Chains A and B, each alone.
Chain A
Amino acid sequence: MSTVLSARSVTIEAATGAGPVKLVHDVNLDIREGEILGLIGESGSGKTTAARAIVGLLERNVRVSSGEIALRGKTISSPEVDDFRNVRGSEIGMVFQSASMSLNPLMKVGKQLKEVVRRHQRHLSRQQITERLDQVLRQMGFTDPARVLASFPHQLSGGMRQRVSIALAVVTNPAVVIADECTSALDVTTQAEVVQLLRSLTTDSRTAMLFVTHDLMLAQDLCSRIAVMYAGQIIETGDAREVVSNPRHPYTRALLAAIPTWGEEEIQGIEGSPPRVAADWQGCRFAPRCPVARDECTRTRIGWTPTGTRSGARCLIVEEEEPESSGSMLDHV
């Protein structure tokens, strides 16, 4: 299985009135063919910023200030490179939180789909385009593609609209799909439908996917791997089941404890609130809220500790628990 998308030490800065702040700091990611990586984190932790950087959709005051993002080994974004022209919409597709954010309300679904195919697959004949649209809508679970193609977005239900958005992202057979909370706005049943769709997409088409969510249980269910973000940093990665059943970072543990389960008397929320975006900081950003933090947690630079071949955490305690590791700066691939 080959790596499709990778991020190497990516730091993303925003220019603000009070100077530059780091929205994302030293992030490493790897997604392989047919793999779904769940990116988890509280509101404001930088998930959307990271996701948008991969599609080259950062706002004007935001930029990748160090590191690089590569697609199949070719750098598409770094402080020097900004080369999304040939990948956006063809190699990388994006699904947004709600369909109202991704569909043009004044354009029929068919026209919006055709537009993307025409842009990226110029060699297709009219007949072939029609066939492709029919095929992708059937793949998205529509039984009457012709009717959907002739509809305006507002004539479809919320779930249908979101499936159309996914169709728009995958109609060109991209290698990677970035989905930013694409199920959060849906009701439970529709959510299950969409999740099933995404799953079959990765198994059938071998698409790699970054699935951004704040729902740890959903991530465990859908994703092969999970990366947990806190205040702009990835603080733990690993196999999805492993992260949930055996979390290493105190923040991941706290997140799990905060999930309500049947029969449980009370849920344990995490005290305090995440730190605000900053230009720079020392030590662990979770330390002020961490139940097991010590003095040195706020003083030393916290390195990445590998806990397996493709897992690891950014925590002093984990570092001590892992005998063979020396708290190195190894990539958490």
Chain B
Amino acid sequence: MIRLILSKTANAVLTLLIASSLAFFLARGSGSPVREILGDSATPEQVAQLTAELGLDKPLIVQYGQFLLDLVSFDLGDSLRYGQSNLELIAGRLPASIELALFALLLAVAVGVPLGIIAAMREGGVVDRIASMLALLGQSVPLFWLGLMLILLFAVRLGWFPAGQNDGIDSLVLPAVTLSTLPMAQIARLTRSSMSEVLHEGFISAARARGLAGWRIILIHAFRPASLPVVTIVGLQAGMLLSGAVTVEYVFAWPGLGSLATQAVQTRDFPLVQSIVVFGALVFVLINLAVDLLYGLVDPRIREDA
């Protein structure tokens, strides 16, 4: 178990380094933010001065070294636009993002997993066909369109829920439903295929031959091994929803990380963009690490092999 943790942690650090470097170079590649900040009327002297202030006149490799040094000391720098520390900005938006992501994920799991299980129990049956249609829809409907439609119907027409902003649990419903569709579809599909595979295993027949109750076979014998890939994808989605709910946050004017990222990109606030990406990668890597360790807890064979 110790070895498992160590090797997974090393992996995580490496992933983080690669993601941060990518963020750094992509941000530099997108052009200088100086003109954006100073406007068109700025003199060449002003431009040169700000460029120097931001350290953008130094060779790229030196900038990169500085970036990495800052990173290991947990210094993500300051935002160009807000003049505030990036870390504070992110921390300020984080609660709203977590709230939205968590709610969407819960919804996705609560609907996707049972749907996948029932579909697998009767392959080709009614539930299976409905589920696969829903899954296809969930994966192909554009989120902004779905979000707008939900707003039109439930906020404008029926007035059941507010259309945007974050105040109270009511305002959480529409964005969470919108955000949950893609992970819900993926979870349902994966649960179905994973369950159906396990249900064809010999030990399920054997459990049946022993006369065990149907629910016990499905939930305890089949779902437990079938849940491993589902756990993985739920973990991945948690990371994705937390740092990547860009469209949904935009449509619903949700004050989370996603809308912060949109603003940062629009204003070429590259330290902020960079910081959000690094933070997103960190979340991703941490969740992955947790999933890997969880795997070991569920499956005794993994625990011992590693």
Contact = CB atoms under 8 A, between A and B. Distances in A.
B1 interface: no
Interface string A111-132: 0000110011000000000000
B301 A105 contact: yes
Nearest to B299: A106
A104 B211 contact: no
Interface string B197-232: 000011101111111110010000100110000000
A89 B210 contact: yes
Contacts of A116: 210-212
A94 B212 contact: no
A105 B203 contact: yes
A14 interface: no
A152 B203 contact: no
Interface string A97-109: 0101111111100
Interface in B96-138: none
B220 to A, nearest CB: 8
Contact of A120 (B206, B211, B216): B211
Most A C-beta atoms less than 10 A away, residue of B211, B216, B299 = B211
Nearest to A113: B210
A9 B152 CA distance: 67
Interface string B169-211: 0000000000000000000000000000000011101111111
Contact of B209 (A89, A103, A107): A89
B65 interface: no
B298 interface: yes
B213 A100 contact: no
A88 interface: yes
A104 B213 CA distance: 15
Contacts of B201: 101
A93 B208 CA distance: 11
A57 interface: yes
Contacts of A89: 209-212
A94 B301 contact: no
B202 A57 contact: no
A211 interface: no
Contact of B210 (A98, A107, A119, A152): A119
A90 B216 CA distance: 17
A113 to B, nearest CB: 10
Contacts, number: 70
A94 B84 CA distance: 70
Given A105-B225, A106-B224, A152-B300, A96 B208 contact: no
Nearest to B298: A106
B212 A119 contact: yes
Contact of A152 (B224, B225, B301): B301
Most buried by B among A55, A104, A119: A104
Contacts of B210: 88-89, 93, 115-116, 119, 168-169
A104 B222 CA distance: 9
B208 A57 contact: yes
Nearest to B225: A106
A94 B206 contact: yes
B228 to A, nearest CB: 9
A154 interface: yes
Nearest to A94: B209
Nearest to A165: B206
A94 B206 CA distance: 8
B212 A96 contact: no
A101 B203 CA distance: 5
Contacts of B206: 94, 96, 101-103, 165, 168
B120 to A, nearest CB: 13
Contacts of B213: 119
Interface of B: 201-203, 205-213, 216, 221, 224-225, 298-301
Given A102-B206, A169-B209, 14 more contacts: A84-B211, A87-B211, A88-B210, A89-B210, A93-B209, A93-B210, A102-B209, A104-B203, A106-B225, A106-B299, A115-B210, A119-B213, A152-B301, A154-B301
8 contacts: A88-B211, A89-B212, A96-B202, A96-B206, A104-B207, A105-B225, A105-B301, A168-B210
Complex A-B, nearest 8 residue pairs according to Cβ-Cβ distance, in ascending order = A89-B211, A101-B202, A102-B206, A88-B211, A89-B210, A94-B209, A152-B300, A116-B210
